[in-house]
């Protein structure tokens, strides 16, 4: 067994953060469509979370935002002329597509990729597969910059492999780590990788939702497992409950979260709860680890309350004393059923004995909580030393990023502001400076 730490790469909210309601199936996103956003506040809220967790001793890093607006998308579908011409015509003729081009959704780095640590992979390298996110236009091109960014940060090919995204077709719909978790005795030990899917492309008899789309396919999950060289005996695939997808559970991380040997989940999370737990127990037996399920019953927390509060879109973090802390948004305290449940949870004597609460209101209003904002990467000391260190959260980096946000970010964006050419200029200027702050020259192709 090797010593390793889990690094949480939190997405730095981009300067175009806005509420366009682009994500059908995401209740919070649809509920706040066309309201005014505050990009400055959103970025500062995310940075405050990163700083606080780093100060607690958790390994914390920053994932930079992507360039917006996506002029390549707009030009590829027929908008031409100067940048200002492109924006003006898109606003007149296709304002929803313009909003897609401006989307700051890459802030939710749980969707950036699926990650397997070196202790699980056949070649003993850390593997990343960028998610194709092909279910939604506004996210379908994120994998291009995500791959570029991951290769810039994890550039040592002796230790890291960054795979291209899967083919961008419905059969391989892949939403990344939002539908994947890992169980192990420690971050450096051999573990069990758990993939949850919403539909099966080539089996029409398989269960599926009726109202909202299932974004992750079994075929995509299986392909990622093959690319990463995972041991089939330590890999589990489970079907999400289609009924909860139709209640707004668009990713598994809205209804379940795992860490170490603990699975914190709602009793309606999986299509076959008993079979899923049995499969996990068998796989974990191969690594001499017992599964500890923490089950939340519908009678204690209905699915609607879980979705509204993002109880399960939380971070479950291992503490030095062997217990776990649950990182939750303020909304969990404001929901009576969830607040009552959490008070009993931490007093129960179980593995989760602490709550860490953050104000992430700007992200939450767009449909992303603490777990959406982070990509988990378990690294040995040698692997951590081999990655680009300029993204590791420190007090110095925090101060520089706060000053950068206050210099470049607006405190209000309304839908009509997306037609303003000055906003595009401001976004480009911000990213040019961010490249210097993070020590990642040419991270973006801003030509």
Is 150 labelled as part of a ligand binding site? no
Is 202 labelled as part of a ligand binding site? no
Is 294 labelled as part of a ligand binding site? no
Stated as kind and residue range, the H or E segment containing 362 is: helix 361-365
Is 56 labelled as part of a ligand binding site? no
Residues ≥6 apart with Cβ < 8 Å to 63: 9, 10, 11, 12, 109, 112, 149, 375, 391
372 labelled catalytic = yes
Is 361 labelled as part of a ligand binding site? no
Of these residues, 100, 372, 383, 427, which one is catalytic?
372
Is 253 labelled as part of a ligand binding site? yes
Residue 320: CB atoms within 10 Å: 7
Q: Which residue has the tokens 């000055």?
A: 422
Is 139 labelled as part of a ligand binding site? yes
The candidate with the shortest Cα–Cα distance to 118, out of 257, 3, 233, 290, is 3
Is 314 labelled as part of a ligand binding site? no
388 labelled catalytic = no
Is 14 labelled as part of a ligand binding site? no
Is 250 labelled as part of a ligand binding site? no
Is 25 labelled as part of a ligand binding site? yes
Residue 334: CB atoms within 10 Å: 11
Residues ≥6 apart with Cβ < 8 Å to 425: none
Crossing angle of helices 395-408 and 39-55, rounded to 10°: 180
Of these residues, 251, 266, 383, 408, which one is catalytic?
251
Of these residues, 6, 142, 175, 219, which one is catalytic?
175
CA distance 165 to 82: 31
Encode burial over 211-222: b for 16+ CB neighbours within 10 A, e otherwise. ebbbbbbbbbbe
Is 31 labelled as part of a ligand binding site? no
Q: Which residue has the tokens 């007093």?
A: 347
The candidate with the shortest Cα–Cα distance to 115, out of 180, 68, 48, is 180
Crossing angle of helices 83-93 and 95-102, rounded to 10°: 130
DSSP 219-283: HHHHHHHHHHTB-GGGEEEEEB-HHHHTTT--SGGGTEEEETTEEEEETTSBTTHHHHHHHHHHH
- Which tokens in the block code for residue 66? 């992507």
Beta bridge partners of 358: 329
Is 24 labelled as part of a ligand binding site? yes
Is 22 labelled as part of a ligand binding site? yes
CA distance 69 to 71: 6
Is 429 labelled as part of a ligand binding site? no
Is 305 labelled as part of a ligand binding site? no
435 labelled catalytic = no
List residues forming the annotated binding site. 20-29, 111, 138-139, 215, 253, 366
List residues forming the annotated binding site for substrate. 20-29, 111, 138-139, 215, 253, 366
Where in the sequence numbering do the catalytic residues fall? Answer: 175, 251, 372
């Amino acid at each position: 067994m090797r010593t390793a730490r889990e690094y949480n790469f939190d997405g730095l909210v981009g300067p175009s953060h806005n509420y366009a309601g682009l994500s059908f199936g995401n209740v919070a996103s649809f509920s706040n469509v066309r309201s005014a956003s505050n990009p400055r506040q959103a970025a500062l809220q995310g940075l405050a979370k990163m700083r606080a967790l780093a100060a607690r001793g958790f390994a914390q890093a920053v994932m930079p935002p992507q360039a917006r607006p996506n002029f390549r998308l707009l030009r590829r579908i027929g908008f031409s002329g100067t940048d200002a011409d492109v924006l003006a015509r898109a606003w007149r003729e296709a304002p929803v597509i313009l909003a897609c081009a401006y989307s700051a959704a890459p802030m939710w780095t749980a969707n950036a990729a699926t990650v397997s640590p070196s202790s699980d992979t056949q070649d003993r390298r850390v593997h990343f597969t960028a998610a194709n996110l092909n279910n939604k236009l506004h996210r379908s091109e994120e994998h291009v910059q995500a791959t570029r960014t991951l290769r810039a940060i994890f550039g040592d090919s002796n230790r890291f492999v960054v795979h291209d995204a899967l083919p961008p077709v419905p059969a391989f719909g892949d939403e990344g780590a939002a539908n994947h978790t890992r169980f192990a005795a420690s971050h450096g030990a051999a573990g069990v990788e758990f993939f949850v899917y919403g539909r099966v492309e080539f089996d029409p008899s398989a269960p599926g939702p009726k109202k909202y789309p299932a974004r992750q396919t079994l075929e995509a999950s299986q392909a990622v497992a093959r690319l990463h060289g995972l041991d089939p005996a330590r890999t589990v695939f489970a079907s999400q409950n289609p009924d909860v997808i139709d209640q707004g559970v668009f990713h598994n991380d809205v209804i379940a979260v795992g860490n170490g040997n603990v699975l914190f989940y709602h009793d309606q999370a999986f299509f076959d709860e008993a079979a899923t737990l049995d499969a996990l127990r068998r796989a974990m037996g191969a690594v001499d680890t017992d599964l500890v399920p923490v089950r939340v019953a519908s009678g204690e927390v209905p699915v609607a309350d879980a979705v509204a509060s993002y109880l399960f879109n939380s971070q479950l973090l291992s503490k030095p004393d062997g217990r776990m802390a649950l990182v939750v948004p303020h909304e969990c305290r404001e929901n009576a059923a969830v607040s009552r449940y959490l008070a009993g949870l931490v007093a129960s004597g179980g593995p989760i004995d602490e709550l860490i609460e953050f104000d992430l209101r700007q992200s939450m209003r767009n449909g992303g909580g603490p777990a959406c904002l982070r990509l988990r990467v378990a690294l040995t000391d040698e692997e951590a030393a081999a990655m680009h260190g300029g993204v590791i959260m420190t007090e110095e980096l925090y101060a520089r990023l706060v000053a950068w946000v206050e210099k470049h970010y607006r405190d209000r964006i309304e839908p009509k502001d997306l037609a303003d050419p000055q906003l595009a200029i401001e976004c480009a200027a911000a990213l040019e400076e961010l490249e210097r702050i993070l020590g990642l020259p040419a991270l973006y192709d801003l030509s």
